[in-house]
């Protein structure tokens, strides 16, 4: 499956499809399989590797900022 197809159809890669024969490995010929045998989403790694170190840092910083800024909504305002 091409990377583009992976982006379009993430639900087609359930973890139950994972081969458990060897931790962290793929079956031969599955270079673009999303989950490896350890359950790691390789598409996330490939996306991270497509970024520069600055962009990776921005992504982490964005998550930190979100967690820092998020506030609970009082019951009456839902």
**Tokens (6 digits) for 25:** 């490995």
Interface with other proteins, residue 61, by CB under 8 A: yes
- Tell me which of 5, 9, 22, 23 binds other proteins, using CB under 8 A: 23
Residue 51 tokens read as: 């970024």
Is residue 31 part of the contact set for other proteins (CB under 8 A)? yes
Asked whether 13 and 35 are in contact (CB, 8 A), the reply is: yes
**Interface residues toward other proteins, by CB under 8 A:** 23-24, 31, 36, 38-42, 44-49, 51, 53-54, 56-58, 60-61, 63-64, 67
């Amino acid at each position: 499956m091409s990377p583009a197809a992976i982006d379009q159809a993430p639900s087609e890669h359930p973890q139950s499809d994972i081969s458990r024969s060897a931790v962290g490995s793929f079956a031969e010929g599955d270079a673009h399989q999303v989950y490896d045998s350890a359950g790691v989403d390789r598409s996330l790694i490939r996306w991270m590797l497509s970024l520069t170190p600055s962009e990776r840092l921005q992504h982490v910083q964005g998550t930190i900022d979100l967690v820092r800024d998020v506030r609970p909504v009082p019951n009456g305002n839902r």
